[in-house]
Amino acid sequence: MSEFDLFRISEDHEALREAVREIADEQIAPHAAAVDEEGRFPDEALKALVATDFHAPHVPEDYDGAGADALATCIVIEEVARACASSSLIPAVNKLGTMPLILAASEEVKARYLPPVARGEAMFSYGLSEAGAGSDTAGMTCKAIEQPDGSFVLNGQKSWITNAGVSEFYTVMAVTDPDGPRGRNVTAFVVEKDDEGFTFGAPEKKLGIKGSPTRELHFEDCRIPGDRMVGGLGEGLKIALRTLDHTRVTIGAQAVGIAQGALDFALGYVKERKQFGQAVADFQGIQFMLADMGMKLEAARQLVYVAASKSERGDADLPFFGAAAKCYASDVAMEVTTDAVQLLGGYGYTKDFPVERMMRDAKITQIYEGTNQVQRVVMARQLLKG
């Protein structure tokens, strides 16, 4: 391998991109506006992704999965997000929900819960945040108290849970030792949708990603068998944070996809739209905007791909690169989509064109899986640690 090959995406990855893009263009994009307008789950996208094994490509082959590496998974998410951000949360949240199992669960737990996800029979969500514990994850109050028979009784709630209600399984973090040291008293469990005492709040009314339901999880004396624990007792928060190191990269990929979709549409528009007797694209001021959009988008993509490679290898500096990829790409997505709306002028502000949806969808990428302010704290800490 020459030194130059290190900076080239493999032919397999490019072939994957082409395959996903074709499916996204033909079977997902045509429904994106309706999914947003009606606030409904993108069933067409789920069907298309399951049929092609793109709904949870990260699941290892040992558990009936496609065994896609972290970069391949990011490419899938990016290409789906280019067409419909809500739909891209199918593969992204399946990875988020199952990553704690992949990192830390017993073989029995993995064998029970990963194959149904790989086969497309179930989706997996992730329950960490609470109404009073968003960025301060260690401040959670949801409790799981061990019983004499080895089971745990779960009481409390979780907030802002992506794909809640449609997912069959949930990785939930709860305090198992209320008097224990803060942050080291949390344990992870798998909760099943039909567990007694487990219910959902009303769907949130959101600015964007309206096709992906966001709801609260409510637990009232919900009994969880002890064999559904993920990792060891008291290891839940450590597992949760390790999970986010990996999955923040997928949010960066989602942000890149949203931004690419907006840039693609804006480019087509300014080449066709005429003002003062010439195409809008011929004006230098417009060209400077396009150049900045393309430059920043490509920088974001490269940062995401480097972070994905570090995720695959488990590099020690993944916490910095995962935070950087998510933070930078989401900031770029917000900027690029806002500029895309500007390039379309008044039309950009209407629902007749997709860029206003993309602008609304981009905003959440700066907030979930850790706000960009928190990402900067993570990066600074890593730098200061050397």
Nearest to 112 by CA among 221, 229, 247: 229
What backbone torsions phi and psi does residue 316 show, to the nearest 5 degrees? -65, -25
**HSE-CB for 43 with a 13 A CA cutoff:** 2
The CA R_g of the chain, rounded to the nearest whole Å, is: 21
d(CA 57, CA 32): 22
Nearest to 157 by CA among 174, 169, 170: 174
Would you call 50 helix, strand, or coil by DSSP? helix
Which member of 78, 130, 235, 369 is catalytic? 369
Mark whether 335 is an active-site residue: no
- Tokens (6 digits) for 139: 């401040």
- Whole-angstrom CA distances from 189 to 140, 143, 147 are 15, 11, 15
Within 8 A by CB and 6+ apart from 203, the residues are: 39, 165, 213, 214, 215
So which residues are the catalytic ones?
Answer: 369
